[in-house]
Amino acid sequence: MRSRVYHATLFALYQLCIAVGILVMPLALATRQTGVTLPVHRLLARVEEAYEAAEADQ
């Protein structure tokens, strides 16, 4: 069973990824105009899956 520290760390990481995604949005929109995409959505999806899996284990 995973500890509370692990669960809290995943929650903090998830929140941090959301904040980074919001802050990087202007850069992502600018790079999208040039045909390059930033993989922030993949990072957020992986952290979300890990957080939900840890929450389901409790």
Distance CA 52, CA 55 (A): 5
Q: What is the pTM of this model?
A: 0.70
The reported pLDDT for the residue numbered 51 is 84
The reported pLDDT for the residue numbered 23 is 93
Q: Under 8 Å CB-to-CB from 1, ≥6 apart: which residues?
A: 57, 58
Which residue numbers in the chain have pLDDT < 70? 1-2
The reported pLDDT for the residue numbered 2 is 58
DSSP 14: H
- Domains of the chain, by residue range, sit at 4-57
